[in-house]
Amino acid sequence: MSPELGHYALVLALCVAVAQGTLPLLGARRGDPGMMELGRTAALAQVALIAVAFLALVQAYVTSDFSVANVVRNSHTAKPLLYKITGTWGNHEGSMLLWVLILAVFGAGVAAFGSNLPPSLRARVLGIQGLIGVGFLAFILFTSNPFERLDPAPLNGDDLNPLLQDPGLAFHPPLLYLGYVGFSITFSFAIAALIEGRVDAAWARWVRPWTLASWCFLTLGIALGSWWAYYELGWGGFWFWDPVENASFMPWLLGTALLHSAIVTEKRDALKSWTLLLAILAFSLSLLGTFLVRSGVLTSVHAFAQDPARGLYILGFLIVVVGGGLGLYAWRAPKLAGGGLFAPVSREGGLVFNNLLLATLTLTVFLGTLFPLVLDALDAGKVSVGPPFYVATFIPLSLPLLIAVPIGPFLAWKRGDLRMALRQLVAVGVVAVAAGIVTLFIAHRSVVLAACGIAVAVWLVLGALRELARRIQLFGVPPGDSLRRLVGLPRAAIGMTIAHAALGLTVLGITGVSVWQTETIVMLKPGASVAHAGYEVTLDSVQDVRGPNYVAERARLVYRRDGAVAAILQPERRLFAVQRRVTTEAAIRTSPLADLYATIGESDGKGSWTVRLYHNPLAPWIWLGAALAALGGFISLTDRRLRVGAPRRTRAAAPQPAE
Amino acid sequence: MSNRWLYVLPLVMLVIMAGFFAYALTQSRNPTDIGAPLVGHKAPAIDLAPLHDGGARLTGADWQGKVTVVNFFASWCAPCLAEHPLFLRLKSEGVRLHGINYRNKPEEAKAWLARLGDPYERIGADPEGRAGVEFGISGVPETFVIDRTGTVRLHLRRPLMPDDVNKTILPLVKELSR
């Protein structure tokens, strides 16, 4: 019964979305308050309906209702409860349902908390959200119905892909979607602003928290995905420049740019049409990611349900949404009044520099991802674009960006003094260069890159702290006064400091793994030892263990340093009974300095096992840095300026005078 | 105003990109298929040291004059183990068969062949995978059929199945030998 209820609720949600996507827009045009108000009601009704549909699917999974085709394909009675629940979105149909649920939640967020928005802007934002909802709901209902029934129902299901039966990956998609879909709100705001023909500080103030929240979720989602790849795939790597990874990375890069350009629009009323373009493109790239994963146009390790019919639908949808957005942009954006002027060397100038480089980086990833497709379409041959391309382009482009990060906050708005800024950073620079020089002597390989990486990491962390010290006048005033200043600092400033320093930590981690990783692959018999990264590693034993829906071989590896036991790692090799698939469960011992990482491979049938050992110096900082950056974002979100005191629109539609 | 065109540029880029996507979707191409570009071209002129001590080198001259099957294999590759009996069969059918031992330790490969039987007339050792690059393989096992003039006629990017031998390779060898 409940699958039909869920299906019915979904159909109703589509009807409501159609109403939400038309009437408020019409009302805003006519100035009809009743029709505009309908947007809020519709948004709230939509979230309730989609929640019903989603819960119906969750229920089908939890109760293992094998009359539902989707449950059969992705679940099994022996699967642990957690993965029964997360299996709901571990497949194409269910993940689309999660996507529209989040879309509706965000729309309802605007409806519920947007009471300080001008009614016409709110109505238009909700209208655009409604139209996006129509596109996705129709996609689900017509091409990917998660509630399809099977008759007769099989006795048991096919189980979820074992690689997805993992806590890290269980929450990777929801976080990623929170980020992707969050950009739909900034997109809707951008379109609404283009329709209204005005972008001002108030508009930017409303857009920023949404951008920031999306960015934080996207950061966490990407970090979680990368962490999962690190410990689950057992290759010891954390980023593979796979098309689908890139698909999530591009909106992140552009979202980062948007985050910064929206500051300029808010504070200085400048860069308006650029900010609008970024808002449109950030969501466009999110849609592109959805398209790439589900259409099968590119080869990727992320094999989702790939179906050309679905691909064509998403492509059509992409063209309508992005084409409509960019068309509106081409038509209306040139008419937007320019804002405050600024000198090249100024806070604005720094943020423009940041935006230029981030946009270029996005373009680089974009080209690298789509180049094989374009070449193939032109019949110019088959290529794959791999890490060497990204290393050769990404590092030189991101280096100036990273160097500029600590300098920017020292520059004043409108006209900055670069010499003054640099003078305050001299000490930090000296320490960073010294760290780089020391690295030159202790690095084993890629010496120059290692030195740059370490120097930049130190520069970022200390530079962020130096800026904080300046704000609270550390050592300039008595410590008590500094502390008082610290407490009184706006949360946004604290958030920025944390995020910028966290970036340095991530750079530190990436450098550490790239330069100092050591890898040992050996065949070991139980009792035998191998020397690895200063440890003596003994394969103590290999035992058979049994899990809820798998059997495994569990190795016990004892790490000894100077005879004393330093760590015991127990990697597993699991065979999932239903899908007949083997997964490696790496064992990782994390410390702030390095990860000890071990996986066990196949036995040779004569009593030896392949054992892979990695020593990954500084690795944990990659993800700690990302998590810390997201934390910085969340702290910044709690800044009271984002909640109260948004500048009211006083001047009516009159264009803003240029300064 | 020329500046206006700047605002249209993103839309133009989208149109171009959408064109490529539409093409990719409608041409029912398989992105995982990397084709067999060597078919119809001369097999690369390699020169590999023998795997077996005292054996002969494997060179481009070894597939002149008679139809030849060349197989890339390695002892660490499970699908190679699965297809191995079929090569013993090809040998018993009188087909000239050369092996290229891909990225493998010689002693492990020799032990593997000693255990399973050695169907190859000559085996070139390719510890660095250079011959693999020359032949454009994407992994092991892969198998080539080369005609009397040294032109590649078939490239299988997967382990052999009994049907491949019965319905493809044996008839092809017969036809090319005529």
CB-based contact (8 Å) between B34 and chain A?
Answer: yes
CB contact under 8 A, A297 and B21: yes
Tokens of A109: 């967020």
Within 8 A of B26 by CB-CB distance, chain A residues are 308, 312
Asked if residue A38 has pLDDT above 70, the reply is yes
pLDDT attached to residue A651: 45
Interface test with A, best of B9, B12, B21 (most A CBs within 10 A): B21
- Note the pLDDT tens digit of each residue in B27-47: 655 655 667 788 888 999 889
* Extents of the domains making up chain B: 47-177
Whether A296 sits inside 8 A of B3 (CB atoms) is no
The candidate with the shortest Cα–Cα distance to A131, out of A120, A143, A123, A141, is: A123
Contacts of B31 in chain A (CB under 8 A): 296-299, 372-373, 376
Taking the C-alpha atoms of residue A334 and residue B2, their distance in angstroms, rounded to an integer, is: 11
Give the SS3 label for residue A587: strand
Cis? peptide before A152, omega within 30° of 0: yes
Closest Cα partner for A643 from A486, A468, A492? A492
Domain B47-177 CATH class label: alpha beta
Share of chain A above pLDDT 70, in %: 93
Q: Report how many helices (DSSP H) and strands (DSSP E) chain A contains, helices first.
A: 19, 10
Higher pLDDT, A500 or A155: A500
Residue A530 and residue A540 in contact, taking contact as beta carbons nearer than 8 Å: no
d(CA A170, CA A91): 11
Least confident segment among A276-285, A413-422, A429-438: A413-422
Chain-centre distance for alpha carbon A300: 18
Half-sphere exposure for A41 (CA within 13 Å, toward CB): 9
Residue with tokens 């070894």: B62
Nearest CA in chain A to B16: A374
Structure-block tokens of residue A581: 């698939």
Nearest CA in chain B to A332: B7
pLDDT at A646: 52
Chain centroid offset of residue A237 CA: 18
Measured in angstroms, the CA of B8 and the nearest CA of chain A are apart by: 5
| Residue B25 sits at the chain A interface (C-beta within 8 Å) | yes
Among A163-167, A459-463, A631-635, which is the least confidently predicted range? A163-167
Calculate how close chain B gets to A643, using CA atoms only, in Å.
Answer: 33
Residues of chain B with C-beta less than 8 angstroms from the C-beta of A334: 1, 3-4, 7
How far is Cα A129 from Cα A44, in angstroms, rounded to an integer?
Answer: 12
Interface probe, candidates A143, A290, A326, A582, chain B, greatest B C-beta count within 10 A? A326
The label of the residue with tokens 């989602």 reads A221
Which residue stretches of chain B have pLDDT < 70?
A: 1-2, 27-34
C-alpha to C-alpha distances, A318 to A22, A217, B18, nearest whole angstrom: 19, 23, 9
pLDDT tens digits, one per residue of A514-534: 888 888 888 899 999 999 988
CB atoms within 10 A of CB A473: 12
> pLDDT at position A270, please?
84
Coil vs helix vs strand at B70 = strand
Query: Where residue A298 falls among pLDDT bands split at 50, 70, 90?
Result: low
Distance (Å, rounded) from C-alpha A20 to C-alpha A24? 6
Chain A residues with CB under 8 Å of B17 CB are 370
The residues spanned by each domain of chain A are 1-160, 162-407, 408-512, 518-620
Name the residue facing A373 among B3, B20, B28 (closest C-beta): B20
How close is the nearest chain B Cα to the Cα of A298, in Å?
Answer: 6
Model pLDDT, residue B33? 64
| Region A557-579 average pLDDT | 89
* Region A11-38 average pLDDT: 93
Among A297, A334, A374, whose Cβ lies nearest the Cβ of B31? Answer: A297
CB contact under 8 A, B25 and A295: yes
Kindly tell me if the per-residue pLDDT of A130 is higher than 90: yes
Partner A contacted by B15 (CB < 8 A): yes
Q: How far apart are CA A655 and CA A335, in angstroms?
A: 10
Higher pLDDT, A50 or A548: A50
pLDDT in tens, A383-404: 777 788 888 888 899 999 999 9
Out of B1, B14, B35, closest to residue A323 by CB: B14
Residues of B in contact with A320 (CB under 8 A): none
Return the CATH fold of A1-160.
Answer: Four Helix Bundle (Hemerythrin (Met), subunit A) (1.20.120)
State residue B6's pLDDT score. Answer: 82
Mean local confidence (pLDDT), A15-21:
95
Distance from CA of A327 to the nearest CA of B (A): 6
With beta carbons under 8 A apart, name residues in chain A contacting B24. 297, 373, 376-377
Interface of A with B (CB under 8 A): 273, 277, 280-281, 284, 291, 295-299, 308, 311-312, 315, 318-319, 322-323, 326-327, 329-330, 333-334, 370, 372-374, 376-377, 382
What's this model's pTM, rounded to 2 decimal places? 0.83
pLDDT of A328 higher than 50: yes
User: In chain A, what residues touch B35 (CB-CB under 8 Å)?
Assistant: 382
Distance CA A172, CA A218 (A): 10
Band (A310; pLDDT cuts 50, 70, 90): confident
| Predicted pLDDT of residue A312 | 83
Q: Residue A224 class from Cβ within 10 Å (0-12 exposed, 13-18 middle, 19+ buried)?
A: buried
- pLDDT value of position A236: 66
**Is B2 part of the contact surface with chain A (CB cutoff 8 Å)?**
no
Task: Considering only residues A22 and A645, tell me which one the structure prediction assigns the higher pLDDT.
Answer: A22
Q: pLDDT tens digits, residue range A43-66? A: 999 999 999 999 999 999 999 889
Q: Does B138 touch chain A (CB under 8 A)?
A: no
Q: Which residues pair with A599 in a beta bridge?
A: A612
Q: What is residue A659's predicted lDDT score, i.e. its pLDDT?
A: 35
Indicate whether A542 pLDDT > 50: yes
CB of B111 within 8 Å of any CB in chain A? Answer: no
Dihedral (Cα; B136, B137, B138, B143), 10-degree rounding: 150
Q: Residue A117 above 80 pLDDT?
A: yes
Nearest to A308 among B1, B23, B28 (CB): B28
Q: Collect all residues of chain B within an 8 Å Cβ-Cβ radius of residue A374.
A: 20
Query: pLDDT digits over A222-258, tens only?
Result: 999 898 888 877 666 788 888 888 888 999 999 999 9
pLDDT bin (cut points 50, 70, 90) of residue A74 is confident
pLDDT in tens, A175-214: 998 999 899 999 999 999 999 888 888 888 888 889 999 9
Sequence-separated contacts (24+) of A194-199 with Cβ below 8 Å: A194/A276, A194/A328, A194/A329, A194/A332, A194/A333, A195/A28, A195/A124, A195/A328, A195/A332, A196/A120, A196/A121, A196/A124, A197/A332, A197/A335, A197/A336, A197/A653, A198/A336, A198/A653, A199/A265, A199/A272, A199/A273, A199/A275, A199/A276, A199/A336
Can you tell me the mean pLDDT for A123-129?
Answer: 94
- B115 has a chain A CB within 8 A of its CB: no
Q: Could you give the count of Cα atoms lying within 13 Å of A204 in the half-sphere of its Cβ? A: 24
Closest by Cα among A453, A465, A506 to A627? A506
Here the tokens at position B83 are 């297809």
pLDDT at A654: 40
Helix A201-232 to helix A243-268 angle (10° resolution) is: 160
Average pLDDT over chain A reads 87
